[in-house]
Structure 1
Amino acid sequence: MNPNKFTFVPILNAFPSLQALEEAKCVHKQIIQCGCESDAFMGTSLVDFSLVDMYAKCGSMEGAAKVFNKMTSRDVVSWSAMLSGLVKSGQAQKALELYREMQWEGVQPNAVTFVGVLNVCASVAALEEGKCPHEQIIQSGLESDVFVGNSLVDMYAKCRIMEDVWKVFNRMPSHNVVSWTAMILRHVKCAQG
């Protein structure tokens, strides 16, 4: 039996780390040989999204970018996968550029996108870069999402804007252990100078 697009997606999602890059490339070659790489039936191809995600998980942002740039239709999920990969690989500036490009193309960010962008802003203490997504988060009603809220708390805390940390924290409808831990750690760091 020959594999098809439905066979490849779970295989691509199974690649966990850098050690699997060579095997991942072999699977990608098989996908191309089977003609499953660009399947219009699936819209923003689930195979393409899974390839971007797989290369990002394996630490090959070059491979992820090649697939991403060849995609004829990119939705918020594919943009978020690429953004998350750039964040995880420590490419903060490229992640911010990709976010701006996504905005320019008119793709509405979702909670995953916002968490990625806020993590970038927190990692480089880019307060001005983080204020724009915060406004969009408020407009989209995602400020109540606990993961987005936690990312906002983290960003403002790393930028040392404790007044905004408290504002975001107090507006969150619920808190989890990450929320409380972030608040405690930020107060400890501020107290230490």
Structure 2
Amino acid sequence: MPIEPTADVWGALLASCRIHGNMWLGKLAAERLFKLRPDRAGTYVALSNIYSAAGRWDEAAKLRRLMNDRGVKKEPGYSWVQVKNMVHTFSVGDISHPQIEDIYAMLDKLAGQMKTAGHVPNTNFALHDVDDEQKERTLYHHSEKLAIAFALISTPHGTSIQINKNLRVCVDCHTATKFISKIAGREIVVRDANRFHHFKDGLCSCGDYW
């Protein structure tokens, strides 16, 4: 490059390495970011995801310990949706909502329909060294999926759904939302920390790069 790469440039490279599974280059980009922005939790999370996808659990664990040693805190992820002038907020595995049984019933229904349609949960980026069944259960209970399921049972068929998330939407939730938009016949707009995603008929406006 004719100019010195900024933290945003290294961050974009790190995100690309996560998508393509390039561990060596991802580690290099993360090391540059640790020097430029040592307080950025997203760097640690992205590199940990790369290690986890490669089955390098020891490296992922060391990275999480490094975060603790440096006092870097990952912001908890949550999603929210407005229905009938009321905002409903969800976190991963949330059980606090008064309609939580109906929400989880809808998630179970969607999981079966998505599986029939060919969806395979992407457990590559799960941060915990647990069995695949547990990883899948955790993925199905992510905050954006809970928000979408609630919107599906709370709004008329055919209406669009608008979800907000404070962090970047994960790979599996992005793929699952594409399936849900086609299965449910809904347009779903998700505003995450990076951009707007407009899901319709099984496709997303971002073209799967975000």
What TM-score does the superposition give when structure 2 sets the normalisation length? 0.38
Structure number with higher relative contact order (C-alpha < 8 Å, ≥ 6 residues apart): 2
**Greater gyration radius:** 1
